[in-house]
């Protein structure tokens, strides 16, 4: 019997997961009920689905211990909690996936514990905005390096506007990124690094358009391959990957969304059903294999005591 624990808010998506998993033979699923945790107490689940640890640190610690106990955690707590968009773009570039030109900016302000003269001597005293403009150009997108849900995302058209927004960004670490003037936009749901649903998406209206012919076979193949490569490399078993297509080239715009919005009224009932069923299929797969979560500590994985 595969035992599944779910950590989430009271959302339609995870309620549907719970019902679907419990309909399947050889699977039992429940809301994980957590109190004080002992190191000596093993995780009772084969698979844990996490939709809330990014909001509550207690769950973060619990999930890493669950992984040590042999549970398969979706998404991997060793990867998810240390990720950021600037790293993602660098990784994509290394993997040969096209990304917009991007510059990371030092935060405008900093924690009161940081002493300006002693601790910030590594920083240049001023930002050369002409150099930043030369590297990215305008129009551009100004956004946090660790943002999600369209938080603090701005389109800027000149240096004065950029400086004004930067001065208001306080302690947020921000990026300036080339704006891709796209002729088509694709948002892909990716499960298990192998199941990919490329949807026709309108980012201006944040609306999904049901259209099964919106990509040519060649472009569809390239996008699916890039999705699987990125998600496997990042260790994400549930993610969305967005592409802005310009002159036939799909630029990866956002692929750090391991807790994607999954309301049926937002993603459409058709895509909601696809996501629920494919995630349940993946849960069955890793549960039957008794597959462990890959550790961040490879030496521990190789140690005979860990194997025992």
The sign of the torsion formed by the CA atoms of 165, 171, 176, 177 equals: negative
Q: Tens of pLDDT along 230-250? A: 999 999 999 999 999 999 999
Q: Tens of pLDDT along 4-17? A: 999 999 999 999 99
264 in a structural domain: no
The number of angstroms, rounded, from the C-alpha of 221 to the middle of its chain's C-alpha atoms is: 22
For residue 114, pLDDT beyond 80: no
Give the pLDDT mean for 284-295: 90
Same domain membership, residue 61 and residue 28: yes
pTM for the complete prediction?
0.89
| Residue ranges making up the domain that contains 214 | 184-257
Same domain membership, residue 193 and residue 216: yes
Same domain membership, residue 70 and residue 26: yes
69 in a structural domain: yes
91 in a structural domain: no
271-293 CB burial, b ≥16 within 10 A, e <16: bbebbbebbbebbbebbeeeebb
- Rounded Cα–Cα distance for residues 302 and 305 (Å): 9
Query: Which of the four pLDDT bands, split at 50, 70 and 90, describes residue 108?
Result: confident
The total number of structural domains that make up the chain: 3
CATH number at residue 115: 3.30.1490.20
Q: Tens of pLDDT along 14-53? A: 999 999 999 999 999 999 999 999 999 999 999 999 999 9
The sign of the torsion formed by the CA atoms of 199, 179, 143, 123 equals: positive
- Rounded Cα–Cα distance for residues 80 and 82 (Å): 6
**Quick check: 185 and 252 in contact, CB under 8 A?**
no
CATH number at residue 66: 3.40.50.20
Decide which of 128, 151, 178 is a domain's last residue: 178
Decide which of 148, 178, 208 is a domain's last residue: 178
50 in a structural domain: yes
Q: Is 149 left (phi over 0), alpha (psi -120 to 50) or beta?
A: left
Mean pLDDT of the chain: 91
Decide which of 178, 199, 228 is a domain's last residue: 178
What share of the chain has pLDDT > 70, as a percent? Answer: 93
**Quick check: 125 and 109 in contact, CB under 8 A?**
no
Nearest 5°: the CA angle 257, 260, 266 is 140
Query: Which of the four pLDDT bands, split at 50, 70 and 90, describes residue 275?
Result: very high
- CB within 8 A of 95, min separation 6: which ones? 229, 230, 233
What share of the chain has pLDDT > 90, as a percent? Answer: 78
* pLDDT given at position 122: 76
CATH number at residue 235: 3.30.470.20
111 in a structural domain: yes
* pLDDT given at position 283: 98
245 in a structural domain: yes
**Quick check: 87 and 146 in contact, CB under 8 A?**
no
Q: Tens of pLDDT along 126-183? A: 899 999 999 999 999 999 998 776 778 999 999 999 999 999 998 899 999 999 999 9
266 in a structural domain: no
Query: Which of the four pLDDT bands, split at 50, 70 and 90, describes residue 119?
Result: low
**269-289 helix and 12-23 helix, angle to the nearest 10 degrees:** 50
Give the pLDDT mean for 60-79: 94
Q: Give burial (CB, 10 Å; 0-12/13-18/19+) of 182.
A: middle
**129-136 helix and 159-167 helix, angle to the nearest 10 degrees:** 120
For residue 58, pLDDT beyond 80: yes
């Amino acid at each position: 019997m595969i035992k599944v624990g779910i950590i989430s808010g009271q959302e339609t998506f995870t309620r549907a997961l719970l019902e679907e998993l419990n309909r399947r033979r050889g699977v039992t699923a429940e809301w994980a009920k957590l109190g004080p945790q002992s190191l000596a107490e093993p995780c009772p689940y084969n698979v844990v689905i996490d939709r809330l640890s990014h909001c509550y640190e207690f769950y973060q610690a619990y999930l890493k211990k669950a992984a040590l106990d042999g549970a398969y955690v979706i998404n991997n707590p060793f990867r998810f909690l240390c990720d950021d968009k600037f790293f993602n773009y660098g990784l994509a570039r290394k993997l040969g996936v096209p990304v917009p030109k991007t510059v990371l900016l030092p935060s405008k302000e900093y924690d009161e514990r940081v002493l300006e003269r002693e601790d910030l001597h590594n920083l240049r005293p001023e930002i050369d905005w002409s150099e930043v403009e030369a590297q990215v150009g305008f129009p551009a997108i100004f956004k946090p390096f660790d943002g999600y849900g369209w938080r603090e995302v701005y389109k800027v058209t000149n240096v004065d506007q950029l400086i004004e927004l930067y001065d208001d960004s306080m302690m947020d670490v921000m990026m300036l990124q080339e704006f891709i003037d796209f002729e088509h936009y694709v948002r892909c749901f990716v499960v298990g690094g192998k199941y990919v649903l490329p949807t026709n998406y309108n980012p201006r209206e944040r609306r999904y358009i049901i259209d099964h012919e919106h990509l040519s076979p060649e472009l569809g193949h390239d996008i699916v391959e890039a999705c699987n490569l990125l998600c496997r490399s990042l260790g994400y078993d549930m993610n969305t990957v967005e592409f802005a297509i310009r002159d036939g080239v799909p630029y990866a715009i956002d692929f750090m969304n391991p807790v994607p919005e999954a309301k049926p009224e937002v993603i459409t009932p058709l895509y909601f059903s696809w996501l629920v069923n494919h995630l349940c299929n993946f849960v069955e797969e890793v549960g039957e294999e008794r597959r462990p979560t890959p550790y961040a500590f490879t030496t521990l994985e190789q140690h005979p005591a860990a194997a025992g």
